[in-house]
Structure 1
Amino acid sequence: MSFQPVLPVGGLAGYRFLERTAETQQAALRQSPALARDTDHFRERIGGIETAAELVADRRLLRVALGAFGLQDDLPNRFFIQKILEDGTARPDALANRLTDDRYKAFAEAFRFADATTPPTREAGFASEIIARFEAQEFEIAVGRQDETMRLALFAARELGTIAASGAGADTQWFRIMGTPPLRRVFETALGLPRAFGQQDIDQQLETFRTRSERIFGSGEIAQFTNEAARDTLVRQFLLRAQIEAAPSPSPGAIALTLLQSAPRLAPLR
């Protein structure tokens, strides 16, 4: 039987429960036979992998490698993934750089088959780092089978700090958020942006994201989310707005009351 997380309630209360029980629940996930077989295989074999072709030829290795970056749906697309890895990210015209989903770029950068003299698969700690990412993603997937909103919240809490602390330029950080579908959805919901918003000009989208973020969170830059409290505020706002969207035809008064109740955890509006 596959692992099933304990999630007694949804929304913000459910998220707080997951925070409190995460260590115990993730330990239970790691003990599930199917996941343990995959991670043991990865740990044993990845050090001998030196090329993209070798990686995609081993389905179990590739499952962990892709899953670590949320790309598990591409497991059947071996030739596409091999091209991503063989192109790397150093050239502007590399395939990963031309895709709108930045998870492919992160995947190619992690394995660096095209851009490194010695593949990182040989480096100490590489296997453990990829496995840790894979296990975190698998936990989030399991949660998402019960509540997709909760999965997005967990993903944002885990990934946003890395982007915020990356040292990349302010615009680049925003473009990474916009190019990572789960994070983009969290921000669009938290900032009250409609789904059709993504059809606007990319520079106009950037300006809107920045303006709304400054008004709601007190800063228009992603760097603010290096702070755990700021990440928690974003997740809280996302979950509250997601609950409102899911509710049957909420009245304006109910919306206002829900957002006002969250105000102590949010930065003052400007």
Structure 2
Amino acid sequence: MTFTPAIPLGGYLGWRVFENSADRQFEAFKNTPEVTRNIEYFTENVKNALTAEDLVKDRKLLTVALGAYGLQDEIDKAAFVRKVLEEGTDDPSSFANRLNDTKWKAFAKDFGYGNLGGTRVLISSFREQVATDYMQQAFEARVGDVNTDMRLAMNFRREIATIAENPNVDRVGWYSIMGDTPLRTVLEGAFGLPASIGTADIDQQKELFEQKASQLFGGKSPAVFKDPAVVEDALRRFFVFSELENGPTASTPGSAALTLLSGQSASSQAQNLFLSLVS
């Protein structure tokens, strides 16, 4: 039976409700036949994939391997995936290092096929970590099938911590965020910025992100997201802004009343609501 996450409400209130049951739902998801089969097959057979070709030609293995890095939608690009893996990341000019999506670099580096140290598939702890990451990413994908904003929020909470803890966060943190579409989407929403700012000069974008972070969260470095309270505040702003942009859903409290508003009056009411919730 297909697993469908229980998300009865949208918006920030729905996020808070979902948070209370997310761990229980994740445990239920992990025990579904599809996930169990995929994990068992991967952990038993990936140690035999000693070359990139071995991994790529086995679709079951590749499903878990790509899924662990949020790259599951790329599974049909066999030649592309093989090139990423075989060139590795030791060479700064390698294929993975030249791609905008940093997930490919992590994928190639971790599996190690093209690097000096060789592949890590014989290391049990690595196989277990890939399996764990696959389950988390797959669960988030199912959540996204029901509510895209919820998936973005889960991804943000997980990934922003890695960036915030990076020793080079002050130098590369904002560039990492701006180059990651899901993270960027959440923070553009939290900052009340239009997606069109992506057309500006990259250093100007960085300055704007720094200004907004300093204004709203008390520091211009992404290191501010080490604080769970700041992460939660960013998510609250993101959800409120998303509802402001897209309008209330049927599950939004008061949505029936809000839909009666029209024209400039509706816009003013929505703006006032947004300001009251994020101030």
Q: Does the alignment reach a TM-score above 0.5?
A: yes
Q: Please state how far the C-alpha of 1:116 moved relative to its aligned partner.
A: 4.0
Tell me the secondary structure at the aligned position of residue 8 of structure 2: coil
Tell me the secondary structure at the aligned position of residue 101 of structure 2: coil
TM-score, normalised by the number of residues in structure 2: 0.89
Deviations 1:38-96 (A, max 9, x none): 11111111222222111111111111111111111110001101111111122221111
Deviations 1:4-51 (A, max 9, x none): 000010111111122111111001111111111111111111222222
Aligned counterpart, 1:26: 26
Cα distance change on mapping 1:208 and 1:44 into 2, 3 Å: same
Aligned counterpart, 2:277: 261
Q: Which letter maps to 1:113?
A: Y
Rounded Cα–Cα distance in structure 2 between residues aligned with 1:151 and 1:218: 26
Q: Which letter maps to 1:55?
A: L
Q: Percent identity?
A: 37
TM-score, normalised by the number of residues in structure 1: 0.92
Establish whether residue 171 from structure 1 lines up as the match of residue 171 from structure 2. Answer: yes
Q: Please state how far the C-alpha of 1:257 moved relative to its aligned partner.
A: 3.2
Superposed, 1:159-198 pairs within 5 Å as 159-198=159-198
Aligned counterpart, 1:267: none
Aligned counterpart, 2:133: 133
Q: Which letter maps to 1:85?
A: L
Q: Please state how far the C-alpha of 1:171 moved relative to its aligned partner.
A: 3.0
CA contact (8 A) 2:169 2:221 kept: no
Superposed, 1:216-255 pairs within 5 Å as 216-247=216-247, 250-255=266-271
Q: Please state how far the C-alpha of 1:253 moved relative to its aligned partner.
A: 4.3
CA contact (8 A) 2:3 2:32 kept: yes
Rounded Cα–Cα distance in structure 2 between residues aligned with 1:193 and 1:262: 14
Superposed, 1:1-270 pairs within 5 Å as 1-247=1-247, 250-263=266-279
Rounded Cα–Cα distance in structure 2 between residues aligned with 1:262 and 1:178: 23
Larger radius of gyration: 2
Tell me the secondary structure at the aligned position of residue 251 of structure 1: helix
Tell me the secondary structure at the aligned position of residue 152 of structure 2: helix
Rounded Cα–Cα distance in structure 2 between residues aligned with 1:198 and 1:261: 26
Q: Please state how far the C-alpha of 1:230 moved relative to its aligned partner.
A: 1.7
Rounded Cα–Cα distance in structure 1 between residues aligned with 2:204 and 2:175: 12
Q: Which letter maps to 1:61?
A: L
Rounded Cα–Cα distance in structure 2 between residues aligned with 1:218 and 1:116: 43
**CA RMSD between the two structures:** 1.6
Give structure 1 stretches of 5+ with no counterpart: 264-270
Cα distance change on mapping 1:116 and 1:258 into 2, 3 Å: same
Q: Please state how far the C-alpha of 1:234 moved relative to its aligned partner.
A: 1.2
Cα distance change on mapping 1:164 and 1:116 into 2, 3 Å: farther
Tell me the secondary structure at the aligned position of residue 242 of structure 2: helix
Rounded Cα–Cα distance in structure 2 between residues aligned with 1:133 and 1:43: 13
Rounded Cα–Cα distance in structure 2 between residues aligned with 1:94 and 1:252: 51
Rounded Cα–Cα distance in structure 1 between residues aligned with 2:186 and 2:163: 15
